[in-house]
Structure 1
Amino acid sequence: MVLKTSYLANHVRNLKPSGIRKFFDATAGMTDVISLGVGEPDFVTPWNVREAAILSLEDGHTSYTANAGLLELREAIAKYVDDYYCVAYDPEHEITVTVGASEAIDIALRAILDPGDEVLVVEPCFVSYAPLVTLAGGTPVIVAAEKENDFKVQARQLEDAVTERTKAIMICSPNNPTGSMLSKQEMEQVARVAKKHDLLILSDEIYAELVYDDLYTSFAAIDGMRERTILVSGFSKDMAMTGWRLGFVCAPAEITQGMLKIHQYAIMCASTMAQYAALEGLRNGRSDMAEMRKSYRLRRNFVVESLNEMGLACYKPEGAFYTFPNIELTGMDSESFATRLLHEERVVVVPGNAFGDSGEGYVRCSYATSMGQLREAMKRIHHFVDNL
Structure 2
Amino acid sequence: MTQSKSSVPTKKSLPVWWSSELLPNRLLHKFMDQLDAGRRPYVKVTPKTVPELYDFQGQDVEFLWALLNDLDREYHMLTIKRARVNPQQEPYDNAQIYFLPDKEPLVREWLNRPALDPYALTWAHELKRQQHKFEDGGAALVGRHVRVKGMSAAQVVRAFAVLGQELQRPVTLRALSARCFAGDSKALESYELLVRALYPSLSQQLQARPVMLVVHLGQPLAHILFVENQDTFLALAQADLPGITLVYSAGFRGSATRVREPGQVVFSYLNPDADTAGFKRAWFDGEASSLRVSFWGDLDYAGMAILKALRQSFAQLEAWQPGYELLLARLHAGLGHTQASGVKNPQPDPGLTGCHYADTTLLPAVRQTQSYVDQEAASLCELQC
The bucket for the TM-score relative to the shorter chain is under 0.3
Rg: which structure is higher?
2
Return the structure number with greater relative CO, CA threshold 8 A, min gap 6: 1
Normalised by the length of structure 1, the TM-score is 0.21
